[in-house]
Amino acid sequence: MIVMTRIDYRLIHGQVAFTWTNNLSANALLIANDSVAQDNFRKKTLQLAKPDSAKLIFKSIADSAKAIASGVTDKYRVFIIVENIGDAYRLAKLVPQIKVIDLGLANKKAGAQNIAKSVYVTPEETAQLQELEQRGIQVLVKQAPTDPDTTFSSLIK
């Protein structure tokens, strides 16, 4: 069961590893990212931040979708973490079980608009997130579980 999908360019760090994982009662963290899945150094580094209470899995976007579709993840409370909005968009289009996406941290880049603390979106990313909302996926912007639920669409000017 997917408990949440989070966009966070840092992937696993203290807030994700402990606060979010505990709040969601997640027992599996799935890092869905094409480059991380192929990078042993990044995987080893991210393993250091993994909470003891959860299994850590690294898969490409396509392999993540295949694993979820196969049912192999059904026995877990899966917290999916993606590095960027594009990854969340691609994965959500492949995985109908994704119902909530948390836009936690999206780094500053050329042409991006700051819509919340540590959240920057380009026009293309805005269109992608709006499309996901139109498809019935709840897109929230919140850094910590105790933050109020703020919908992405309410922050776009």
Look up residue 106 and give its DSSP letter.
B
Nearest Cα residue to 54 out of 80, 34, 28, 30? 28
Q: How many CB atoms lie within 10 A of CB 16?
A: 22
In 3D space, the residue among 119, 89, 126 whose CA is nearest the CA of residue 104 turns out to be: 119
Q: CB neighbours (10 Å) of residue 125?
A: 22
Given 1, 5, 6, 13, the catalytic residue: 13
Order of strands across the sheet that contains 138-140: 55-59, 28-32, 78-82, 2-8, 100-105, 138-140
Cα separation of 28 and 21, whole Å? 9
4, two tokens: 């949440």
Q: Is 13 annotated as catalytic?
A: yes
- Burial class (CB within 10 angstroms; exposed 0-12, middle 13-18, buried 19+) of 10: middle
Which positions are annotated as active-site residues? 13
